Homo-oligomer: A and B are copies of this chain.
Amino acid sequence: MTLSFWFDFASTYSYPAAMRIEQLARERAVPLSWNAFLLSRIFRAQGWDDSPFNLYPVKGRYMWRDLERICEAQRLPFRRPSQFPRNGLLAARIACRFSKETWIPAFVRAVYHANFAEDQDIADRSVIANCLRSVNQDAESGLEAATSAETKIILREQTERAVDLGIFGAPSFIAGQELFWGNDRLEQALMWCQRR
């Protein structure tokens, strides 16, 4: 059974999930699918015009400390982004357009690394160009494909599919009919795939 990984490039807890999911899935022989979507669109439909971590500062304060502890335990580099949430639209379009390419997992990790370890602005074309180059892809053609009308539709439909699947946060994992939400549910989601 394939595990569908749903992630948003601005989402903090998607960072540790994205960095470890491929290895964990491989160890358990669970096939993965990579599904970028735009959480901000789902938030907006709920009446939030910003991340709940900004709207509810007490929760936000906790999240940053919690994330720091998680990264420490996972030995992941972490630098709190000077801007949050960052606009992950461009990266999400590329991840959607090329979702089945073998270089996508490494590209996704490169974008998360830029945002959460290097404090780089992933809305910036040159940052994403570097991420593409780091996985041996041609930056210009990748960026061009990302801004095509066709790609915009793919991402919009992917986000609509997330809503249809009951997704309301990121990271989310779908195993068959089961939805799991949060980095801390990754192992459980993988187990669900293995048992079936």
Which A residues fall within an 8 A CB radius of B? 46, 56, 58-59, 61-62, 65-66, 69, 166, 168-169, 178-182, 184-185, 188
State whether B179 touches A59 (Cβ < 8 A).
Answer: no
State whether B56 touches A168 (Cβ < 8 A).
Answer: yes
Report how far A69 CA is from B169 CA in the complex, Å.
19
16 residue pairs of the A-B complex, CB under 8 angstroms, read: A46-B56, A56-B168, A58-B166, A58-B168, A59-B168, A59-B169, A62-B168, A62-B181, A65-B178, A65-B179, A66-B180, A66-B181, A69-B178, A69-B188, A182-B184, A184-B184
Report how far A120 CA is from B185 CA in the complex, Å.
30
Report how far A62 CA is from B58 CA in the complex, Å.
23
Report how far A178 CA is from B58 CA in the complex, Å.
14
- Residues of chain B within 8 A of A169, CB atoms compared: 59
